[in-house]
Chain A
Amino acid sequence: MKKTEITGDFWIGIGTLLFSVIVHQWALEFTTMEDVSGVGAEVFPRVFARALMVLAVLLAISGLRGDPQRPKPSFAGLPWAALMATLSFAFVALLPIFGYLLLSPVYAVLATTIATRRFRVRDMVPVLAIVLGIYIVFAHLLKVPVPHGIMA
């Protein structure tokens, strides 16, 4: 008897199925206005949620069968990606306080350090030039507003 190998697709399918059920139930709370149009606020979300349920079941079934030719995803580098993501969200959280001009060089330097796994002053010179250049082009030449923070 062939051994069934549960792949990540199975769990993604199950998770998506649960998610789509929650969305479907939530959508039932939206007001309907069927006397104006046959398409109330809840129709599209419910239709898409049901479609997602069907697809999730199909994915879960294919996840049970497995696909020997498809390489399994590797998460060996996940800590570095997670660090970059955390840094990015921290940057956004601090942006209203410190402003783009003060914070973006720090962010860019840290991001480059994460990417290259080391800090070298000469690597940071072009990084800072780029960040400053983009700021000047957007904020001063194109007059696109950027968060100023404490520099306002």
Chain B
Amino acid sequence: MEILALLAHGFEEVATWQSLLSIILGSALGICIGGLPGLNASMGVALLLPLTYGMTALPAIAMLLSIYCGAIYGGSITAILLSTPGTTAAACTVFDGSALAKKGQPGKALSMAATASFVGGLFSVFVLIFMAPPLAQIALMFSPADYFSLIFFGLSIVSSLSEDHIVKGLMSAVLGLLISTIGIDIISGTDRFTFGVAELLNGVSFIPALIGLFAVSQLFITVEKKTSEGTEGAKYISTAIINLKDFLSVKWCLVRSSVLGTLIGILPGAGATIAAFIAYNEGRRWSKHPEEFGKGCLEGIAAPESANNAATGGAMVPLLTLGIPGSETTAVLVGAFMIQGLRPGPLLFRDNPELVYGLFAALILANVTFYVMGMLGARLFAQVSKIPEKVLIPLILSLAIIGSYAEHNSLVDVVFMFGFAVLGYFMRKFHFPVAPMVLALVLGPMAESNLGRAMVISDNDWSVFYTRPISLTFMIFGLASLLFPIFREIRNKRRRESIHTLERA
């Protein structure tokens, strides 16, 4: 009850013109930044931090939090409309969002993404408000071995991402893992596969890989045939949004993904991307129609979008309760706090409770704001699907080039982007799925660094992965997730062969 009273007071604190305008402006800017490939939430918060110098603490941090929440949602817009995720957290949304848009229902896809993001974000804010301190203690229990097992679980979904041809999917993932080893080894400092090129010492950035593999490779396939004068096939594009029936059809998926996203977001370093992939995999596993995933089903959009926005609230748990930034974006937020003369951590609750609960109220309002903007904008954004290909092609290329260049101000990243586009072109031609490679590029470095740390801490004792309960649990889930689709594919293949034999007989 005391928490509710404090929260009510927090709403009073945030109900000023300056704070409300900050939240609205922050949400709008966040959506725009998240929607631009190559700019992610942390970059957006860092770029717009100077805007807050003249503000007092609550509106300043409320604006940055709104940018954070809006950017994570905004990545889904280009993921759905242009098959180019605006942020890595929206990479999973491409599979079903883009497919549904190509079926002529971009409005439904966009509104589903907005709704799922809102539900996930709101859920995690309430968890943050009511359960932050005990959850923070759980986060502290995770050791590098547990992180490695969690990442292994995240990587294990490659089997389900490649059910058409599992060997090709696994090859795509392993090749991605190999590419992720390029650069300096974080434990030993040895440079690997760099060919003496200085720009490769930091490894291959996954944003150019993401853009090249998803968007530009598809573009290379599109130009094989002469593009049409109007929209693709001139088919009807519906701007209808989801209705209550659609929402109810994904309700359990939303609940499950919100919980997963919040819990994974709490873990420092885990982040929205891994939350989205794991939620997508679990959404597919628990779905009544798993065969529809990847073909434009609403659950395939709801799962990753609710998880990635749920991770935003989760990431605030270690930041506010322990002063530990859980992600790149929250690391920038620590800077924002310090600019305002504040230090996030347990003392913030004691010394500035009205600010803390004001921020909780601001987070709730930020989620509501981007949801309203997203739903109002869904029909408008859906018009992008009507843009002729001859206009879309330069749009995608321009965004791809600047998006790849923006991260490190390096032309090498643009070269990589086109290189991955060529690789992605041939992968698509020979039916190799590109999603496992992207997943491996994102998670590979995290897996290796946590494995190395786990070995250092345990003094090279490998039993740490099965003696620690958390690690053992994720290892079992990961093995099941990896092997189950393989066994299912073998069983289905034998059934098809026996049916074929019977027919011939």
- Interface residue ranges, A against B (CB under 8 Å): 8-9, 12, 16, 23, 26-27, 30-34, 36-41, 44-45, 48-49, 51-52, 55-56, 58-59, 62, 70, 73, 75-78, 80-81, 84-85, 88-89, 91-92, 95-96, 100, 104, 107-108, 111-112, 114-117, 123, 126-127, 130-131, 134-135, 137-138, 142-147
Contact = CB atoms under 8 A, between A and B. Distances in A.
Contact of A143 (B36, B47, B170, B389): B47
B430 A12 contact: yes
Nearest to A70: B431
Given A32-B188, A85-B421, 16 more contacts: A16-B171, A33-B187, A39-B448, A39-B455, A45-B178, A55-B167, A59-B167, A77-B224, A81-B224, A84-B220, A89-B418, A96-B411, A108-B394, A116-B226, A142-B47, A146-B405
A116 B222 CA distance: 11
Contact of B227 (A81, A91, A116, A134): A116
Contacts of A26: 193
Contact of B448 (A27, A44, A116, A138): A44
A105 B429 CA distance: 30
B418 A88 contact: yes
Interface stretch (B54-62, B395-403, B469-477): B395-403
A104 B397 CA distance: 9
Interface string B425-440: 1000111000000000
Given A59-B168, A130-B398, A138-B402, A37 B224 contact: no
B187 A88 contact: no
CB-based closest 10 A-B pairs: A77-B224, A38-B460, A41-B190, A108-B394, A41-B185, A37-B455, A73-B429, A134-B398, A81-B220, A38-B455
B456 A112 contact: no
Contacts of A143: 47
Contacts of A12: 430
A48 B178 contact: yes
Interface string B176-198: 01100100010110101100000
B390 A55 contact: no
B390 A37 contact: no
A55 B9 CA distance: 60
Contact of A138 (B188, B389, B406): B406
A116 B228 CA distance: 7
A135 B221 CA distance: 26
Interface of B: 33, 36, 39, 47, 167-168, 170-171, 174-175, 177-178, 181, 185, 187-188, 190, 192-193, 216, 219-227, 389-391, 393-395, 397-399, 401-402, 405-406, 409, 411, 414-415, 418, 421-422, 425, 429-431, 448, 451-453, 455-456, 460, 462
A107 B171 contact: no
B427 to A, nearest CB: 10
B130 to A, nearest CB: 37
A23 B181 CA distance: 11
A59 to B, nearest CB: 5
A17 to B, nearest CB: 11
A119 to B, nearest CB: 11
A142 to B, nearest CB: 6
B356 to A, nearest CB: 31
Contact of B415 (A27, A62, A84, A89): A89
Judged by DSSP, the binding face of B is helix
A98 B271 CA distance: 39
Contacts of B451: 39, 44
B394 A112 contact: yes
Given A84-B223, A108-B397, A56 B448 contact: no
Contacts of A145: 406, 409
Judged by DSSP, the binding face of A is helix
Contact of B221 (A81, A108, A137): A81
Given A59-B167, A146-B402, A123 B390 contact: yes
Q: Which of A9, A100, A107, A144 has the most CB of B within 10 A?
A: A144
Given A73-B430, A115-B222, A131-B398, A39 B452 contact: yes
B402 A134 contact: yes
Q: Which of A9, A88, A130, A137 has the most CB of B within 10 A?
A: A88
A111 B394 contact: yes
B393 A80 contact: no
B190 A30 contact: yes
Given A36-B456, A58-B167, A115 B421 contact: no
Contacts of B421: 85, 88
Contacts of B402: 100, 134-135, 138, 144, 146
A56 B171 contact: yes
Contact of A80 (B168, B188, B224, B401): B224
B181 A134 contact: no
B225 A48 contact: no
A52 B406 CA distance: 33
A13 to B, nearest CB: 9
Contact of B174 (A8, A27, A51, A96): A51
B414 A142 contact: no
B121 to A, nearest CB: 24
Nearest to B458: A38
Contact of A30 (B192, B398, B414, B455): B192
Contacts of A48: 174, 177-178, 181
B390 A44 contact: no
Q: Which of B170, B220, B399, B406 has the most CB of A within 10 A?
A: B220
B39 A144 contact: yes
B187 A41 contact: yes
